[in-house]
Structure 1
């Protein structure tokens, strides 16, 4: 019997760590998954990934042992249903601002009479081992809270029947509260605390998007249920810049050694 890894982990109060894919590359998705992350998310909203690339990336993530997640382009039923039919264990739906928005996202994840998801789990039935609707609709519906309107309507959004979790988009939420991306303001900190407490009181999982291990550790220490640690493009850029800086530094600054450094590919 299929057991959705998100529901299984959250039921045990286990914290999950994840990686984020914005680049359309199946090998990178698999490599990230094999590092021990609990989930790997394919980002179709801000990433450069279309449906034809999403499917093989989900296959690569499955092969790595991580749980495949998809952030869809928008709160559009066709986008949500395509990701789920392709075998995603859950979807992250951006820019949710009202209870009606949240209900629309949930409805696209559930078959009638609970929702409006059209039946056609082409790859999902193979991944989950069954085409029964009760099995196939065991998917995590996660909505993003990242706007001022969402904060105003937070209680109504979180009271939506069938919602499984919330994912905070820090840059958009900071912008909405008058700050700048990649900064932390008192208003943002207060909003995060409000969201976390509201989720806790309803038994909803709460997640945070970060781009580094240090930031991820902070939110894990606060008790977040799932936290994204790295993004492929950001990780690649930082690592490449750091290695280039080492390569071009003056020879007088480099450690002396008679032996050539080892090569890693």
Structure 2
């Protein structure tokens, strides 16, 4: 199956982020943790996106029920939750993302786009995607159990943080194809649990490698990186000399 190629927005510019939903990417993530997307900028993208826009996810700042609820109330297709290290934390992420009786999410109106509110809580529970990030040594140690938590839709690798935690270089970790390779273990855990595996590539070359490894949901570029790539292509097309 072809990988779902995503764009990762960090600049906090709603207009640019909204444009990325119609340029051929399969999904978009608004980064509230390390990017510049606060509530108002996130709302601006989600409220004014076109009806044919690709799914927009939000990486929330932390595993916090209030932050998760606000991102979903704004209309996100799902959340990517950072620094999940245990079964208990994975369960908390799921509970915060889904309405009772399967979760603890509070019903609140999408004030900016009420026409996009799910018809029922049951519909919302079936549509919302919950991805938990595997990006620490502790998370890797418990990855099989985390993947098996009901309601977790995917494991999402933060390769830079994971590489730092393991004391290796990120590209060396990605290139590791040994039987005990960290990324291979994460892919196997997702496959065994019957869920998806995703990863942040951040640049097309790294994204291509991750996709070739079997990650089905890959962030292949950032909005700021695309600006750099586009500028380089434009300058190369019109040489100065």
Distance of 2:208 and 2:171 partners within structure 1: 17
Pairwise CA RMSD of aligned residues? 2.3
Cα distance in 1 for partners of 2:46, 2:110 equals 13
Residue 204 of structure 1 deviates from its aligned partner by: 0.7
Normalization by structure 2: what TM-score? 0.88
Correspondence 1:156 to 2:170? no
Partner of 1:165: 154
The offset of 1:144, in angstroms, is: 0.2
Distance change >3 Å, CA 62–CA 171, structure 1 → 2: farther
The CA distance in 2 between the partners of 1:135 and 1:87, in whole Å, is: 14
Corresponding residue number in structure 1 for 2:56 = 68
Give the superposition deviation at 1:159: 1.6
Cα shift readout 1:231-250 (whole Å, capped 9, x = no counterpart): 0122223444665688786x
Following superposition, the deviation at residue 217 of structure 1 comes to 2.3
Q: Secondary structure at the match of 1:17?
A: strand
Matches within 5 A, 1:180-259: 180=169, 182-185=170-173, 190-240=181-231, 251=241
CA distance 1:63–1:21, shift in 2 (3 Å): farther
Aligned residues: 236
Q: Is 2:47–2:74's contact at 8 Å kept on the other side of the alignment?
A: no
Aligned 8 A contact 1:30 1:64 in 2: no
How far the C-alpha of 1:85 sits from its partner, in A, is 0.6
TM-score by length of 1: 0.81
* Structure 2, unaligned runs of 5 or more: none
CA contact (8 A) 1:26 1:60 kept: no
Measured in 1, the distance between the counterparts of 2:234 and 2:2 equals: 35
Pairwise CA distance, 1:203: 0.6
Structure with max Cα Rg: 1
Offset, 1:56: 0.9
